[in-house]
Amino acid sequence: MHRFAQIWRTSTVRLTGTFILIFCLFAILLLGFITWQSSVQIQRQQATDIDRDVAAFMTILDTQGVRALAFAVQRISRQPGPGVYYLGDVSGQYLLGNVSDIPPDVLIDPGVYSFDYERATPEDGGPQIEFPLGRKDKMGTGVAVVRSVVLDNGMRLVVGRDVVERRGYSAIIVQSFLVGVVGIILFSVVAGGVTARRVLKRIDTIRDTSTKIMQGNLSERVPITKRNDEFDGLATNLNAMLDRIEQLLQGLKEVTDNVAHDLKTPLTRLRNQAEGALRDGSSDEARQLALETTIAESDRLIQTFNALLMIARAEAGAPSGALTDVDVSAVVADVAELYGPVAEDEGILVETAIAEGVHLRANRELIGQAMVNLLENAVKYAKPADGEGQGKIAVSLRRQDGRVVIEVADNGPGIPEADRKRVLERFVRLEKSRSESGSGLGLSLVDAVMRLHGGTFRIEDNAPGVRAVIDLPDA
């Protein structure tokens, strides 16, 4: 019972019921109009037939006399059909026809009448009236619409049509309509119930999945069938959203863990430096050094938090108006030129191959910061692994197959293939990088910026060294 009530409350059943009601009302009005029009047309046709018969009889009387009229009435009254014919004498007594008795008022006053009548039987000297629908409520009775005429010689002529046939047609139409309406209602109720049940089943599946997710099982996904209908489309979008939410939550957990782990050491150093400077007997030089160390550690912490904020900003998506037409060629060239002297001081050669006039719809600040991070990493690690030879950095920008490709390559020790995706995660630093300053957020920021711009970022082997590749859509 509860299930039935639940189905009854669904929008599908309510809409189905509404459509059934509208259809039934429209069908009733339409069928009523058809029935009325049919009845009117039949009445008009009967009135026309009656007038035609009367005119024919009057013509026979005028041209051939009473005997010919009597013969014509006798002959036509014996033919099967709905025709009603009566010929009486001056006093109205029955002479000929297929009707044995006519109401007196019809015979006295000429005009159009409707009445119940007794049909003449073979025993009465006349045939029965035969009707196509075979309707006989009582033997020898009928309902007639007639026209009464007084002839010039005083005789009474009554010509009409039995309306049982017309009423039979109307009854059949009404019966067919009632059967059709009942059938439509039953079929619609069954169809609405089945449809609502299927809809509820799919919705219950989505609800059960969301309940499990709210209980903490973030790996649950909405099942997708092979129907490829709107529910599968909704399930696909929901699953994509759940995947993204799971990734963000997992990333948040990792960031929290990494922040707690990686920031604990510099904060501990800050505390120890401050505590050492406050000890009795500390010299002014020691206190000055402690303050300078504290400032340097604070700057590194600020840089780390700034990087985290920039990554969060990039992953959140660019606000309206943040993307403008940017000369990417100029941005890459400026950053390469900025880091040229720094690389020279380290004994590293910087080579550039930058195509001119490349414009993209982008955020200039974020693109510039991504290039800064790549150049900083390249300067740190662009030294041959054996320590011999000169370090080299190659910066290039080109259009390729409808894409804009930016590469920063070095000839350093490189990154193992197994670690090339892992280094894009936040706070990930390989063992050989532990001796270098940094927070492990540089490549994560580059990856987030590229995803914001609809592009990709990947690490490839430069044999030797690393090739950092930025791939952006040329639009």
CATH number for 344: 3.30.565.10
Judgement on whether residues 108 and 182 belong to the same structural domain of the protein: yes
Specify the pTM: 0.48
Of the listed ranges 3-17, 331-345, 396-410, the one predicted with least confidence: 3-17
> Considering 282, 316, 350, which residue would you say is the last residue of a domain?
316
Judgement on whether residues 355 and 427 belong to the same structural domain of the protein: yes
Judgement on whether residues 266 and 133 belong to the same structural domain of the protein: no
Average pLDDT over every residue of 250-258: 69
Judgement on whether residues 284 and 301 belong to the same structural domain of the protein: yes
Question: Which pLDDT band, with edges at 50, 70 and 90, does 137 fall under?
Answer: very low
Whether residue 293 has pLDDT greater than 70: yes
Q: What is the pLDDT of residue 223?
A: 86
Q: Which domain holds residue 236?
A: 221-316
Q: What is the pLDDT of residue 434?
A: 43
Whether residue 466 has pLDDT greater than 50: yes
Whether residue 85 has pLDDT greater than 80: yes
Judgement on whether residues 407 and 344 belong to the same structural domain of the protein: yes
Share of the chain above pLDDT 90, in %: 12
Could you read off the pLDDT of 181-237 as tens digits, one per residue? 788 778 777 776 777 777 778 888 888 888 888 887 878 888 888 878 788 888 888
Choice between 269 and 401, residue whose per-residue pLDDT is larger: 401
Whether residue 327 has pLDDT greater than 90: yes
Judgement on whether residues 236 and 89 belong to the same structural domain of the protein: no
Q: What is the pLDDT of residue 469?
A: 92
Q: What is the pLDDT of residue 320?
A: 47
Judgement on whether residues 290 and 379 belong to the same structural domain of the protein: no
> Considering 316, 338, 373, which residue would you say is the last residue of a domain?
316
Number of domains in the chain: 3
> Considering 316, 347, 376, which residue would you say is the last residue of a domain?
316
Work out the mean pLDDT of the chain and round it to a whole number: 79
Choice between 421 and 343, residue whose per-residue pLDDT is larger: 343
CATH number at residue 250: 1.10.287
Judgement on whether residues 131 and 186 belong to the same structural domain of the protein: yes
Could you read off the pLDDT of 30-81 as tens digits, one per residue? 877 877 887 788 778 888 989 999 999 999 988 898 899 899 988 988 888 7
Overall residue count recorded for the chain in this entry: 475
Whether residue 266 has pLDDT greater than 80: no
Judgement on whether residues 156 and 186 belong to the same structural domain of the protein: yes
Question: Which pLDDT band, with edges at 50, 70 and 90, does 132 fall under?
Answer: very low
Judgement on whether residues 310 and 329 belong to the same structural domain of the protein: no
Judgement on whether residues 77 and 107 belong to the same structural domain of the protein: yes
Judgement on whether residues 443 and 333 belong to the same structural domain of the protein: yes
Of the listed ranges 21-25, 374-378, 386-390, the one predicted with least confidence: 386-390
Whether residue 405 has pLDDT greater than 90: yes
Class of residue 305 by CB neighbours under 10 A (exposed 0-12, middle 13-18, buried 19+): middle
Could you read off the pLDDT of 4-19 as tens digits, one per residue? 666 666 676 677 778 7
